[in-house]
Structure 1
Amino acid sequence: MQKIKISKRFITWVLLIGSALLMFVFVACTSGNQTPSQAPEKITIAYQPGMNYANLLIVKEQQILERQFPQTQFQWQELSNGAAIRDGIIANQIQVGASGPGAFLVGWDKGVGWKILASLNYSEFWLITKNPNIKSIKDFKPGMKIGLPSLDGVQAIVLRKLAQKDLGSPTALDENLQVIAHPLGLQSLLTGQIDAHFTTPPFEFQEVEKGGRVIIKSSDIFGKTSIASLFATEKFYNQYPEFGKALYTAIVDATKLVNEKPDEAARILSQMDRGKVSQEQYKKWLTNKAVAYGIEPRAFLKCGAFMHEIGMLNKQPKSIDELILPPLKGVGGD
């Protein structure tokens, strides 16, 4: 049998090529693990009742995110107030939450680590009563109840600002406050179980239609205010920046739709409600002069300064840049 001679040079080349192939396979496998995913396997987005979230609800109804991230399971959850949403963010049960500046700033102050992805809505919110003896906040007596969604929400901040000015103390009405979700507050006002209700569209419109009188408008206190905005933790955004940018873009597009094509927006919202509220009614609400939508954060610094002044915050933001995520850089806000 003839012996085959293999040179040392050949063996060296084989070993080098083999090592290179192994290294290529190793890098290919490990680099896939190091690249961040576009979105997690599951995302919960929480919001509250009312017209303030119309642009977000359009994103939900049209399944814009579901189509863009088909491998992600989306859960949409309606909660009664911003404090509940904040608790869900802290517990990592909610990844994106929609709320007002009060609950957000309390969480920011306590180190929740969340920031603003986009504002949603600037609508006025009104304090409404059916009691003929109540003309202003000076007429509230002990035992009279003022319904609002939470004790650190923007409604409570506005009341404390007025109480400081008109009653001499920001906490003068605190004993009158009763936490109640907007829909239940509507029914409680109409049936006389509470004396006043500090609420948002469309509930304030429905209360006025049923004989309620407006005694406070939020715009008279803090001016143009982001009553609803989208928040996420900075950690979550940095882990999934592609999802964060996609959600921001979806909100921008939905906001433009609401502002420029209210008929189409109303049709989508009515479809979402399975016709319980007509397209015509939604359009009437969307085009009411008290309703406005936009992505620029407004009045966070004013609210933060007042909340710090009365001891609700240990620190106050000096610039909107302290509070926003990258998509809002350069957009503006205050």
Structure 2
Amino acid sequence: MSTSFKSLAASIGLGISLLAGSFVAPSVAHAEGEIRIAEQFGIVYLLLNVVRDQHLIEKHGKEQGLDIKVDWTQLSGGAAVNDALLSGSIDIASAGVGPLLTIWDRTHGRQNVKAVASLGNFPYYLVSNNPQVKTIADFTEKDRIAVPAVGVSVQSRFLQYAAAKEWGDKEYNRLDKYTIAVPHPDATAALIAGGTELTGHFSNPPFQEQALKNPNVHVVLNTYDLLGPNSPTVLFATEKFRKQNPKTYTAFVDALAEAAEFAQNNKEAAADTYIRVTNAKIDRAELLKIIEDPQFEFSVTPKNTYPLAEFLYRVGAIKNKPESWKDYFFQDAKPLQGS
């Protein structure tokens, strides 16, 4: 690894460590009418951008006679998000299905963390700038693969799922030693620039599409080829927050459903929202082309999450076996019809 990238990785790692460390002490429990939401990077979090931009939680709270204060924070990686949720620093976590299943398993019978809803269905790409890497079997000790969180992010879990298909369940973590935790924006920039041992990035939209504009970058793995259309990213919360804040929780769920309908049916307005809220340096036409991809679906209904859950139990990554997707999703007054 080059000195410049070592410095980058070290500074990122330190930042994440300090960020996670800041969540050690649980905050004071708050009354109904406040909600703290953590979001991450990428188009897959667009529903939260819409909720924030249109003040939908506040809107649905007022319909119940409640003034809701909403606090937003941005983190990188499922590990930091899970730490924040368990410490009481946030109420709603947004991360991949991998971190959800990890925290669901870890809190089973205690805090009972479960998913609230999906954020939609999107293909994730493992991309590389190494011309020798055509499949995952071509990665060697000379390569490094960027993921949001080593071992627990949904990208890491997808990579493990692919490794198990390639070499068998006993070798499911064969490629973990090549992975490194780097936020998507930084990993994309490093991959495009080249010249480091970071030759792979398990990405998400729009970062994967931005990387692929470079002719030296190509797709190694598409998660839709691996699992079929699926919901890689979800929102989750503790059972305590849901029970103690029923009006706030309901307002959030209703706001999310409204945001999903808006994003799915108003792609141009959704693109404008993403740029406005995130200050993303992306061409509007390019962004619109990405979210108008027929493979993209903005929906709160989870799709095809259970195969990953069953896999993680099978290889021993989680101890509790979910009998179906309903075990790790809250079943609300308007139950989701997912998978």
Task: Note if contact 2:76-2:148 (Cα within 8 Å) is conserved in structure 1.
Answer: yes
Contact (CA 8 Å) 2:120, 2:298: kept in 1 or not? yes
The aligned counterpart of 2:127 is 128
The range that moved more, 126-135 or 319-328, is 319-328
CA distance in 1 between counterparts of 2:338 and 2:79 reads 23
1:101–1:227 CA contact under 8 A, matched in 2: yes
Q: Is the 8 A contact 2:34 2:248 kept in 1?
A: no
Structure 1, unpaired ranges of 5+: 1-37
The alignment partner of 1:66 has SS state of helix
What is residue 311 of structure 1 aligned with on the other side?
A: 316
Q: Distance in 1 between matches of 2:239 and 2:246?
A: 10
Aligned to 1:91: 87
In structure 1, the residue matched to 2:193 is 191
Which structure 2 residues correspond to residues 55-134 of structure 1 after superposition, within 5 A? Answer: 55-67=47-59, 68=61, 71-111=67-107, 112-134=111-133
Partner of 2:153: 153
Q: Does 1:43 align with 2:35?
A: yes
Write the distance in 2 (CA, Å) between the matches of 1:134 and 1:328.
Answer: 48
- The change in CA–CA distance for 1:160 and 1:287 in structure 2 (over 3 A counts) is same
Instruction: Decide whether aligned partners of structure 1 residues 40 and 277 sit closer, same or farther in structure 2, where only a CA change above 3 A counts.
Output: farther
- Paired with 2:317 and 2:333, the residues of 1 have a C-alpha distance of 26
Name the SS for the 1:327 alignment partner. coil
Q: Describe the SS at the equivalent of 1:65.
A: helix
Q: CA offsets per residue over residues 100-134 of structure 1, 9 Å max, x none?
A: 11101111111142111111121000010111111
Q: TM-score, normalised by structure 2?
A: 0.82
Per the alignment, in what secondary structure is the counterpart of residue 313 of structure 1?
A: coil
Aligned-residue CA RMSD (Å): 2.0
Please name the residue that 2:210 is paired with. 206
> Which residue number corresponds to residue 20 of structure 1?
none
Deviations 1:266-324 (A, max 9, x none): 22223324584454333222112342221112233211111111111011210222222
Deviation at 1:329, TM superposition (A): 5.3
**SS of 2:164 mapped into structure 1:** helix
| TM-score, scaled to structure 1 | 0.83
Cα distance in 2, alignment partners of residues 275 and 171 from structure 1 = 34
Aligned-partner Cα distance in 1 for 2:148–2:73: 17
- CA shift, 1:97, in A, is 0.8
Alpha carbons of structure 1 residues 57 and 133: separation in structure 2 relative to 1, 3 Å: same
The one-letter code sitting in structure 2 at the alignment partner of 1:126 is Y
Q: In 1, distance between residues paired with 2:278 and 2:106? A: 37
Change (3 A) 1:174 1:269: closer
Q: Which residue of 2 aligns with 1:218?
A: 223
SS at match of 1:195: strand
Q: Does 1:268 align with 2:284?
A: no
**Change beyond 3 A, Cα 1:275–1:232:** closer
State the shift of 1:144 in Å: 1.1
Q: CA deviation at 1:209?
A: 0.8
Residues 160, 173 of structure 1: 8 Å contact kept: yes
Segment of structure 1 superposing worse, 133-142 or 323-332: 323-332
SS in 2 for 1:117: strand
Equivalent residue for 2:178?
176
Provide the rounded CA distance (Å) in 1 between the counterparts of 2:133 and 2:77. 26
Does residue 302 (structure 1) correspond to residue 298 (structure 2)? The answer is no
- Relative distance call for 1:308 and 1:273 in structure 2 (3 A) is closer
Q: What is the distance in 2 between the residues matched to 1:80 and 1:44?
A: 16
> Match of 1:208, as an amino acid?
L
Encode CA deviations 1:150-196: one digit per residue, 9 max, x unaligned: 12122111211221222341121111111111111101211222111
**Counterpart position of 1:25:** none
SS in 1 for 2:81: helix
Identical aligned residues as a percent: 28
Higher CA-based Rg: 1
Encode CA deviations 1:196-241: one digit per residue, 9 max, x unaligned: 1100000000011112100100112222221111111111111111
Unaligned runs of 5+ in 2: 1-29
In structure 1, how many angstroms separate the alpha carbons of the residues matched to 2:294 and 2:304?
19
Name whichever of 130-139 and 196-205 sits farther off: 130-139
Question: How many Å separate the matches in 1 of 2:277 and 2:153?
Answer: 27
Aligned-residue offset at 1:80 = 0.5
| Distance (whole Å) between structure 2 residues aligned to residue 85 and residue 275 of structure 1 | 22
Q: Please state whether the residue corresponding to 2:229 is helix, strand or coil.
A: coil
The aligned amino acid for 2:186 is L
